[in-house]
Amino acid sequence: MEDIVFISDLHLAPQRPQIIELFIRFADEIAADADALYILGDFLEYWLGDDDPAPSLAPVFDKLIELDEKHGTKIFLMHGNRDFLIGNKLAERCHFTLIDDAYRIKIHDNDALLMHGDTLCTDDIEYQKFRQMVRSPQWKQDILSKSLEERIQIAKSLREKSKQSTTEKEENIMDVNQDATDHVFTDNNVDLLIHGHTHRPAIHHKKINNRDTTRIVLGDWYKTGSYLRINDDSDFRLQSYH
């Protein structure tokens, strides 16, 4: 089978230049050898619209182009809760394909499901309400019709709000809901689910309705990098990248 690399939750931002550096090295050392790179959400800490020239992220965007043009690595990107305003213009500019959440792929001849993971956190009712609002086509259209300066202000106030409520929330409501997660396997008829978002990297094996399921949670890129590589000669293994 193909050699596939999965990452998520890099939260790339000009405020954390060392992680931008780390990703660029990762692209050269790891992703360049892969057939495909799947980015399962929150690649960027925030994105205010494809009309933002975002010069501080140019080295990242150039690296994506290089992965495609020079190394033939196909890049697939899924929205996260931070960067869901990434659109087709940026996809064209950076040579990646935007994929839906959830997205079905074949791994070792079996269907597997890829998700960002925020939709699994159903105990966080306040967040799910917020998500429903900001993901509506109407909200997106409204926000993108505002000036970039206005959008920067709105994003700032949303971030402040989210910071406040996150510190008030209990740890366990920030994790996936077990029932909702079990249902993903049975509803979609898959035994393998790969997602990020919770920043709790792990490989969970669980028997659900007689299915032997595997749920791989990708890690974030705060202290180190984190990735999953799947090819013919390796078992599922989460690896950190320094």
Site for Mn ion, rule CB under 5 A: 42, 80-81, 197
Between CA 171 and CA 213, with CA 199 as vertex, the angle to 5 degrees is 95
CB of 63 to Mn ion, least distance (A): 22
The stretches of the chain forming alpha helices (DSSP H) are 17-29, 58-71, 88-94, 125-134, 137-144, 148-168, 178-188
Nearer to Mn ion, 81 or 213 (CB): 81
Nearer to Mn ion, 73 or 198 (CB): 198
CB of 10 to Mn ion, least distance (A): 11
Nearer to Mn ion, 131 or 146 (CB): 131
Q: Are 102 and 192 in contact (CB under 8 A)?
A: no
Task: Give the Cβ contact number of residue 54 at 10 Å.
Answer: 16
The C-alpha atoms of residue 86 and residue 83 are separated, in whole angstroms, by: 6
CB of 117 to Mn ion, least distance (A): 7
Nearer to Mn ion, 108 or 159 (CB): 159
Sign of CA dihedral 96, 49, 167, 131: negative
Nearer to Mn ion, 41 or 73 (CB): 41
CB of 8 to Mn ion, least distance (A): 8
CB of 9 to Mn ion, least distance (A): 6
Could you tell me which residues are beta bridge partners of residue 228?
6, 238
CA distances from 171 to 60, 96, 166, 221 (A): 32, 34, 9, 20
